[in-house]
A and B are shown apart, each in its own frame.
Chain A
Amino acid sequence: MPVTSFDKKLLFRLLGYELDDKALESQTSKMGLSVEEQTKDELVVELPSNRPDLLGTVGFARMLKNFMHRSKKYVYKLSSQEPIMDIIVGAKVKKVRPAISGLVVNDVKFDDASLKDVINFTEKLCDTYGRKRMKISIGMHNLEVIKAPLHYDVYGDEEFVPLNGSKSMKYSTIVAEHDKGLAYGHITRSKTKTGHVALKDEQGTLALIPIINSERTKVTTGTRNLFIDVTGTSDYAVGKTADILASLFLDLGCAVKPVTIVNGEKRSIVPEMESARIEVPVFEAEREIGVAIGYTNVLSLVNKMGYEGVTVGESARVNVPAYRADVLNEQDVIEDIAIAYGYDYIRPLLITATQQGGLERSTLLNKKASHAMAGLGFIEMLNSFLTNEKANFDDMRLQRPDSYVKVKNSVTVSLTMMRTWLIPSLLKNISLSKNDRMPQRIFEVDLAFNLWGDVVSEAYHLAAVETGPKANFNDIKASFNSLNTLLDSDLEIQAADNPSFIEGRCARITLGGKTLGFMGEIHPEVLSKFGIEEPTIALEIDLAGLQA
């Protein structure tokens, strides 16, 4: 989940009053956000990934103000409905990055702190909610130098001066060499081999999307009027982002005006600033949370969370502010009501209906097998299920089979497959125990993974290993005999060959003719591979087969 730091000075300016550290932290956690750190100047907060509107100080201040009943601003509307300019969407961009929105902001009064905060906010939003600009990217421009209409399309290799650059560069050069090009050039490259997505006005390029803006339209603390573009792959997310930005500038006291997106014949005015209406039956909220709330209280609680609300019949009807991207239905509103009510005040309530508890059959057998092994003097080990071909097959003198469960993308190079049996894991434990007292007896009861055709089998195995100067076949057979009695099973053994074991000192373990495992003396070549110095004996049984 994203972690963001808020500028406390700016926060208090927006709130209109100051809070001491303790009060700020306590209010923040009451709203359901966890404070990671607080300094004199900063409040670092972990945010839920579904609240892009909170990624900047302005959005956080808005929430805090409502929560503390210091504001009654629930509805966000544009300053005028008259679109300022047209953005004409070309045909070619629809397959590459189809969604675009925009807005115009007048009467901007940036100082260093608010400009920095807004820029941090857009970057954080593009990084998290925008999936590193793949889904959403945002560009802020100085409106006064723009000559409308704007054109949004896929273009050939044109050139312009990129932001903070001094000379004109070709699109292709920016993609190949500029650090932003290297970071974000791949996003459109995967959908158009040679073209470049750009936003242009009558005078040339405003932005190479989603990579970098132009130096010409750069925003500074002196900029009074802004144009902001939002582009991406999802109409919904792009639309919500424009709504969030519009709300943000409205809170900063600016005038926010729409633009027209021209898509062939279709003309739409954005940002939409649509406010969804949801009815929450009060009894339903009470029933889900498990507390009595009442009709009057419920409105105060939804207000606290930033919703406008009225009671209609037995329900609270709320307007979801346009900047909320996460409210899908009444359940989301009920959660907000619960947060406003305070989790600390919800009294725990016992479920009185009873049910007979019980364990899985496999658990019962595993427990029995483990207790038997512990009683025989073996120590239980717990090992990773992931391994590699060398340890699981090669070092055990086994041919690699055609099919077994393979991992595609492990960041740890030694983890490439799921283990097919347990003895190699236990041999590794022994190899880590060279300095420990002999003899050593260990066991494991856990899963082994096999692939029969395209059917995955996850089966519990029991494996045991004993090492020491005097370990021999009869010792493991003695343990096996005892286990057979304790588990009340009818396992049988026959002489067998298995490359992991010494020839003539290995037996197959069967049940009704079906092979369930092996036991014997581990082959010295295997011992050398694992760096084990003493004779070692082992057994492994498929417990699932025992239960079947």
Chain B
Amino acid sequence: MHKYEAAVLGVLKDGKSLTLDQLAERSGLKRDALLWAIESLSPQGLIKVTKAETESAELSEEAKGYAKNSLPEQALLDRLGKGTIKIAALKDEREMIGLQWLKRKGYAVIKDGVLELAPAGAKALGAGVPEDRILKELAADPGAFRKVSSGNKNSVEELVKRGLILVKKTSAVESLAITKEGMSAAAAGREEGDVIDALDKSMIARGTWQGRRFKKYDVNVPVEAADAGRLHPLRGLINEIKDIYTDLGFREMSGPIIEPAFWSFDSLFVPQDHPARTVMDTFYLSNPANLSVDKAEMRKVKKAHEKAYHEKWSEAVASQSILRTHGTSVSARYLSQITNELTANKNAYQLPVKLFGISRVFRNENIDFKHLENFYQMDGIIIGHRLTLSNLFDMLIRVYDSLGLKVRFVPAYFPFVEPGVEIQAEKDGKTLELGGAGMIRREIVGAQRRKLTVLAWGCGIERILLLRDKSLAGIPELYNNSVGWARKRPLV
């Protein structure tokens, strides 16, 4: 006898009848082990299983639609309540169904081609058609079938006949008790000599399994899934994107989240009065309130801004510390460093330099089920001689192709690129805006502006995940994890 079976009989042998939960608790067996033991003991007549039947209703697709609005006859009855209806005016299928049932139920009569309310119908007008009410109750709680159906047998039968509901019977174990045979089996505690329950080391070593029978498992007994360790689905996508870029010969870049506004905005030619910089959009910090910026960088940027925007440029505004609003701030830091090094030594880099970064970025959003204060961006930058818009398009097509998206490009405005590009994709008849791209303005490239062209892009990535796993409701769901949620996510 298997140890699970022995455990069950051991608990039951005092003769009391137990529920499944009580048995689970007292035997210390896991649910699947317990169910397996019961499935094995019961056909041997060692225990008696009492099952209880429960009934529940399943609504057809058609019925679900009706439950949201109302049954056709109810809809037509409501209209009749407001006045008679010409039969000729009833055309669509739903109205015809309504008409038939109103007549059949005696709620309405046809006189001279006009549908009129009958006395029964007038009564039903107040209380509602019972089948309509029952359907709505079942839609709200399919488990309440027994309650709903009691006293409404005829209505329920009608709904079943109309194919609107399907009554499902399920049986569940109510109680378990030991039988006389079980008692003696428990007392004997014997292992049947010719049947092997669990294979063990000594049987394999000594070959004692030979000539014996293995006890059969019922492969249909429900078993809970094993708990898997795993990465987060978004991390999976991030790793995939990193591989795509390195395969295309890009080196990874990374940079701080807590930045002076300078790197998120000023160095990228975003004017100091730009709406994106307001407290409504950007997280500012009270500690540290300011962060220092290299004086030489400041001077360059001040000159470019004041020339282009005809406004005084303030170092204090540029030094305010913020949470970066886009990953392009990382690109800006690398661009500045690389151009400075190239100015000092023109052989410092072999051009073109191709870089990418995956960055978490922040927006001062009010959090709800659709909005979140942070998300990821992938940024790319290519620094080289004589790069073109056509090179940019080519690279973006390659990146998105690897991610399974066909992209196209339309003109767009971003303060730091000229020409500016928006990357779009068509999916399920909708246009998705995937991100921005362009050629970095010469004012930003600085001293190397005559020699270098710089291609850049910045794109959200969560959307790609939502396209792959349709069960995800929105981006916030990705950052608000429960264990149960994570266990159910496929690897996409």
Contact = CB atoms under 8 A, between A and B. Distances in A.
Given A234-B310, A335-B419, A442-B483, A49 B413 contact: yes
Nearest to B290: A454
B31 to A, nearest CB: 10
B418 A409 contact: no
A406 B285 contact: yes
B364 A410 contact: yes
A32 B410 CA distance: 6
B287 A351 contact: no
A331 B453 CA distance: 11
A410 to B, nearest CB: 6
B352 interface: yes
Contacts of A135: 273
B413 A48 contact: yes
Interface stretch (A137-145, A249-257, A267-275, A283-291): A283-291
Contacts of B308: 328
A408 B227 contact: no
Count chain A CB atoms within 10 A of each CB in B228, B354, B486 and give the residue with the most: B486
Interface centre among B245, B253, B352, B389 (most CB of A within 10 A): B389
A347 B397 CA distance: 11
Contacts of B256: 456, 458
Contact of A350 (B284, B394, B419, B420): B394
A385 B360 contact: yes
A373 to B, nearest CB: 7
A29 interface: yes
Contacts of B287: 403-406, 451
Nearest to A49: B413
Nearest to B245: A357
B397 A456 contact: no
Interface of A: 1, 29, 31-32, 34, 48-51, 128, 131, 134-135, 234-237, 287-291, 328-329, 331-332, 334-335, 338-339, 343-344, 346-351, 353-360, 362-363, 367, 370-371, 373-386, 403-412, 415, 418, 429-430, 432-433, 435-437, 439-442, 447, 449, 451, 454, 456, 458
B393 interface: yes
Nearest to A131: B273
Given A355-B350, A360-B254, A436 B482 contact: yes
Contacts of B482: 429, 432-433, 436
A359 B487 contact: no
Given A289-B388, A383-B481, 20 more contacts: A32-B410, A34-B422, A49-B274, A338-B389, A344-B408, A349-B394, A355-B352, A357-B249, A363-B252, A373-B229, A377-B228, A377-B229, A379-B486, A380-B230, A407-B323, A408-B286, A409-B364, A412-B367, A430-B483, A456-B258
25 contacts: A29-B410, A31-B411, A49-B413, A235-B310, A288-B419, A329-B442, A351-B391, A358-B251, A363-B254, A382-B232, A384-B373, A386-B283, A406-B285, A408-B279, A408-B284, A409-B279, A410-B283, A411-B364, A412-B365, A412-B367, A432-B480, A433-B482, A439-B227, A441-B229, A447-B360
B395 A351 contact: yes
Contacts of A359: 242, 246, 252
A447 to B, nearest CB: 7
Given A348-B393, A377-B227, A433-B484, A362 B410 contact: no
B249 A355 contact: yes
B386 to A, nearest CB: 6
A335 B367 contact: no
A287 B288 CA distance: 45
Interface in B401-453: 408-413, 415, 418-422, 439, 441-443, 453
B292 to A, nearest CB: 9
A374 B487 CA distance: 12
B286 A447 contact: no
Contacts of A48: 412-413
Nearest to B385: A353
A381 B421 CA distance: 34
B173 interface: no
B224 interface: yes
A331 B441 contact: yes
A328 to B, nearest CB: 5
B67 to A, nearest CB: 27
A346 B229 contact: no
B237 to A, nearest CB: 11
B150 interface: no
Q: What DSSP secondary structure best describes chain B's contact surface? A: mixed
B378 interface: no
Nearest to B489: A379
B351 A363 contact: no
B389 A374 contact: no
A1 B436 CA distance: 13
B439 A447 contact: no
Rank and list the top 7 A-B pairs by shortest CB-CB distance, nearest first.
A32-B411, A290-B388, A290-B390, A48-B413, A236-B310, A357-B246, A436-B484
A374 B235 CA distance: 12
B242 A415 contact: no
Contact of B365 (A287, A376, A403, A411): A411
Contacts of A381: 232, 481, 486
B280 interface: yes
Interface in B239-262: 239, 242, 245-254, 256-258
Given A355-B249, A382-B478, A349 B279 contact: no
A441 B227 contact: yes
Interface string B319-333: 000010000000000
Q: Which of A288, A440, A441: most chain B Cβ within 10 A?
A: A288
A439 B366 CA distance: 34
A80 to B, nearest CB: 28
A351 B487 contact: no
A429 B422 CA distance: 37
A406 B288 CA distance: 7
A380 B247 contact: no
Contacts of B364: 409-411
A408 B285 contact: yes
A234 B364 CA distance: 28
A454 B393 CA distance: 43
A338 B389 CA distance: 9
Contacts of B285: 405-408
B310 A237 contact: yes
Contacts of A331: 418, 439, 441-442
Nearest to A33: B411
B479 interface: yes
B353 interface: yes
Given A404-B287, A407-B286, A442-B483, A360 B353 contact: no
B384 interface: yes
Contacts of B412: 32, 48
B352 A379 contact: no
A411 B256 CA distance: 23
Given A355-B353, A358-B252, A406-B285, A339 B483 contact: no
Contacts of A234: 310-311
Most B Cβ at <10 Å: residue of A49, A237, A367: A49
B382 interface: yes
Nearest to A331: B418
A130 to B, nearest CB: 10
B89 interface: no
Nearest to B224: A437
B366 A349 contact: no
Contacts of A49: 274-275, 413
Contact of B231 (A34, A338, A380): A380
B336 interface: no
Nearest to A453: B288
A349 B391 contact: yes
A379 B388 contact: no
A57 B250 CA distance: 45
Residue in B247, B390, B441 with the greatest tally of chain A CB atoms within 10 Å: B390
A456 B258 CA distance: 8
Contacts of A451: 287-288
Contacts of A332: 418
